[in-house]
Amino acid sequence: MNTPHSDWITVGALAEGFAPEAFILPQLAELTGKQFNLFFANGWEIVHRFDAEQLHWAAADGHSSGSASYRATSIRPGIYLVDFLKSEHGQDWSISLVLDTLTHSFTAVIGRLPREPETHEGLYHLALAGKSLTRVDAQFFHGSLDTPWREGSCPHAPTQELVGIRNCYRYSPTEVYEHIYLNEHYYAWQCLKGVEQGLCDTDRAHYYKIADQLYLFVWREKIVPTLGLVMIDLKNHRSDGKIFGYAGGSFDELSNFPVSSYCNLVNTTVHAHD
């Protein structure tokens, strides 16, 4: 079978491929005028205030403050995904917040792309050195909304409930992908239709259960430096999130574009354990 495209592309080119007729969820207006005080389990306390176009944050200890454009969506009532980029101390950061007003808790994902020199280290060298094959970094934080943190305040937790599932994601009439969640650390993907048709890989993955049949899924790619983050609602067959990476090959421009899909279960594999 001939594939129309066999070469790896930049995240910027991927964004262009996803854009036409994409099944993107609309920006939520209901956060406008609201404020949340995020009490992190690590001791941080950061106020986030929303207006129609900008998110403003300020840490109680002064270590971080600023404003940025943001995207806010929801695929389950009472649970919001807020995503934005910030630049501090010469570093660009991807910030994604799962704000759970049902349990008054949150999960924050702070991501960082590798600088250009880091990408010059080959996969074989990284493997021999016992290092992660992807140079994309993601840190996960939990906390409580508007009330001081107490142990157990956030029910969001790592999960293996997606392991064994094979899902199909239709992001637009022209972009279709398949995911196979292999184990607690890795997943496999392939592009069935679209600008990456014929490409596939296995990458580092992170899974968190947010609510019944609602998951936060994060992946970090090793070939083209990419951070992907989506909420997956198996009950309502929708996913929503973003893909973050360098727009081109020059490391001087970022691409952070939304992705939403209609998803369906293909099959589930259950391995027997002796």
Asked if residue 1 belongs to a domain, the reply is: no
pLDDT digits (tens, 9 = 90+) for 46-76: 999 999 999 999 999 999 999 999 999 999 9
d(CA 187, CA 230) in angstroms, rounded, equals 14
- Write out pLDDT tens, residues 99-135: 999 999 999 999 999 999 999 999 999 999 999 999 9
Kindly tell me if the per-residue pLDDT of 1 is higher than 70: no
Residue 135 is classified by DSSP as -
Residue 274 lies in a domain: no
* Domain span at 260: 11-268
CA distances from 70 to 17, 20, 32, 165, 181 (A): 22, 21, 11, 31, 29
Q: How far apart are CA 19 and CA 39, in angstroms?
A: 36
Give the number of domains in the chain.
1
- Quick check: is 252 in a domain? yes
Q: What's the CA gap between 112 and 251, in Å, rounded?
A: 13
The answer to whether the CB of 190 falls within 8 A of the CB of 206 is: no
Element containing residue 16 per DSSP (H, E): helix 11-18
Mean pLDDT score of the chain, rounded to an integer? 96
Phi first, then psi, for residue 12 (nearest 5°) are: -60, -45
Beta strands 200-211 and 105-112 are unpaired
Q: Which residues pair with 58 in a beta bridge?
A: 47, 65
Q: Is residue 261 part of a domain?
A: yes
Of 247, 179, 245, the closest CA to residue 207 belongs to 179
* CA-derived radius of gyration, the chain: 19
Confidence of residue 32 (pLDDT cuts 50, 70, 90): very high
The reply to whether 20 falls in a domain is yes
Lowest mean pLDDT among 3-7, 169-173, 220-224: 3-7
Note whether residue 3 is domain-resident: no
Residue 49 and residue 55 in contact, taking contact as beta carbons nearer than 8 Å: yes
Tell me the pLDDT band of 5, cut-offs 50, 70 and 90.
very low
194-240 pLDDT, tens per residue? 999 999 999 999 999 999 999 999 999 999 999 999 999 999 999 99
**What's the pLDDT at 3?**
47
Question: Given this model, what pLDDT does residue 188 score?
Answer: 99
Confidence of residue 245 (pLDDT cuts 50, 70, 90): very high
DSSP state of 28: P
Does residue 6 lie in a domain region?
A: no
Could you give the 3-state DSSP secondary structure of residue 60? Answer: coil
Asked, for residue 144, whether it belongs to a domain, the answer is: yes
